[in-house]
Amino acid sequence: MGDTYEVEVKIAIDSYEEMEERILDLGAEKINREIQVDSYYDHPCKTFQETDEALRVRSRQPIGNERTESSRNLVELTYKGPKVDTTTKTRIETSVNLDDATEIASILENLGFKQVATVIKKRQFFRLPSITISIDEVEDVGLFMELESIAQTEEVDKARENIFEMMKKLDLDPSKSIRASYLELYVNR
């Protein structure tokens, strides 16, 4: 079995309510809503912006009384490798679930990593077979929708095709997808 990839497409949207209605009309299950605070770090010997990599500490805060599968791990450390194609944000992704964001930050900083930015978003999750969709309200950046599948190396092409099919069902143009991460959009705003 190969590496695990996050196959993801992001697109700017105009209306939260309209997109939520379209998603639900396709039979998606509305999961949970949470606030995510993402702190990004740079390597002491290279610049991740130049290598198209990311190192992130994510803290999750469920909105309301919800506590479902995507919010059960409230802190995670994630490495994202460089993007592997020119049409999506597909990349190797490895995460470790932890308990204390402050302690993680302390370890990283003591190893020479520097915090470069913090991106805050409200995220509503929806689930369809093999695809997770989120509507993201990103502070100082805008309103977006992401469609994501987790796939092994041999499944990446099929996952990408499924996401593009789903975009068309949602009346969205796959050619208008955004390959930049929220960090890139935040830094370049």
Please report, for the chain, the start and end positions of each structural domain, with discontinuous segments joined by +: 4-187
Look at 22-26, 40-44, 88-92, 163-167 and tell me which has the smallest mean pLDDT.
88-92
Active site residues: 40
The proportion of the chain whose per-residue pLDDT surpasses 90, expressed as a percent, equals 79
Paired tokens of 33: 């809503």
Residue 71: predicted pLDDT: 44
End-to-end CA distance of the chain: 39
Residue 73: predicted pLDDT: 61
Q: Write out pLDDT tens, residues 66-121.
A: 555 444 568 999 999 999 999 898 999 888 888 888 889 999 999 999 999 999 99
Residue among 175, 186, 189, 188 nearest 38 (CA) = 186
Q: How many of the other CB atoms lie within 10 Å of CB of 99?
A: 9
Average pLDDT of the segment spanning 5-18:
96
Lookup result for tokens 């370890």 = 107
72 with 98: CB under 8 angstroms?
A: no
Look at 41-45, 80-84, 97-101, 139-143 and tell me which has the smallest mean pLDDT.
97-101
Fold of the 4-187 domain: Hypothetical Protein Pfu-838710-001 (2.40.320)
Q: How many of the other CB atoms lie within 10 Å of CB of 78?
A: 16
